[in-house]
Structure 1
């Protein structure tokens, strides 16, 4: 009887929440997508006929905005662990607003690219910048949706010290999106 209880306990500790597992599958697929694009970037650049240009200044500033959103998301997680509901709602809201500001800055960064005569069609060096930043922007929109769902749950008091799965998923995904942008930004800075 004791062996069956130990076996059941061992199986329970190895189980993964299906939502957490799905999030990690999604993150792995995003990593594979961007690994493929950055690899294609390097291969195409090595072929020649590559126009070099400076990234828009707004890409630099937007990177700091996104890092700030990571800090506010971390504060949201800490607030949830301590059942500080107002701090949780405020932190998620700040993260959401900073995410929107990032997207707006990226859009205006594209306008700066056009002003530098770097277009989506034409030389592949410009196309890759639009594709990489645009795909990241699409994924960030999915992160904003996750944030909105978490914000609604926070107002309904469904996120608290005893129910942290949703905020953990939200925090992990948001930090991942921030880290992904830092990687892409540094990749473009050092390989442009």
Structure 2
């Protein structure tokens, strides 16, 4: 006879088996998408009207913020595993604040580009600025999806849905957040060294 506890455990295993592969498939498709965009960037560098420039200072600040957000989310996950709910909640909220700081710094970076005459579209735009602003903006949209995920994780935290042995939603949200963070770090170094 199957007990209620055994049934819950089997359901959790079934969820885990289906949820993680679906997340990985979506992340692989995002990698392919950004690989295509960065490949188009490299090919477009051969154009006669290509303009090289340094990344705005705000992009450096946003990179630091996103790395710190990953560290704070790792700490939050570690604390939920050891059943330290308040510390876990503090660090996941800190992750959200750092993520919003990242979005703000991206906005500041776009304005810094405008202030030196580099625009996304219009007569003053260049192919290189259109690529950098476009790709960065698409990454920010993915990060905003990560912010929504963090809000759900925080909400579920308040509802006591995560336990040291059952935090699948938290884990999936963390995987997505770290992925988006790593994606930005790739883009940052790509734009820094390939001009």
Q: TM-score, normalised by structure 2?
A: 0.88
Q: TM-score, normalised by structure 1?
A: 0.90
How big is each residue's C-alpha offset from its partner over 1:155-187, in whole Å with a ceiling of 9 and x where there is no partner?
A: 111111121211111111111111100000000
Counterparts of 2:21 and 2:151, CA distance in 1: 21
Report what 1:102 is aligned to. Answer: 102
Counterparts of 2:192 and 2:128, CA distance in 1: 12
Counterparts of 1:15 and 1:57, CA distance in 2: 43
How big is each residue's C-alpha offset from its partner over 1:6-57, in whole Å with a ceiling of 9 and x where there is no partner?
A: xxxxxxx999532222211111111011000000000111233201111100
Cα deviation for residue 154 of structure 1 reads 0.9
SS in 2 for 1:139: helix
1:168 has 2:166 as partner: no
Report what 1:36 is aligned to. Answer: 36
Q: Is the 8 A contact 2:16 2:168 kept in 1?
A: no
Counterparts of 2:74 and 2:110, CA distance in 1: 29
1:181 has 2:181 as partner: no
1:58 has 2:58 as partner: yes
Task: Please say which of residues 171-180 and 19-28 is displaced more in the overlay.
Answer: 19-28
1:153 has 2:156 as partner: yes
SS in 2 for 1:109: helix
Counterparts of 1:156 and 1:128, CA distance in 2: 42
Cα deviation for residue 137 of structure 1 reads 0.2
Report what 1:6 is aligned to. Answer: none
Q: Is the 8 A contact 2:72 2:91 kept in 1?
A: yes
How big is each residue's C-alpha offset from its partner over 1:82-132, in whole Å with a ceiling of 9 and x where there is no partner?
A: 111101111110000000000001001000000111100221100011111
SS in 2 for 1:54: coil
Counterparts of 1:31 and 1:56, CA distance in 2: 24
Q: Pairwise CA RMSD of aligned residues?
A: 1.5
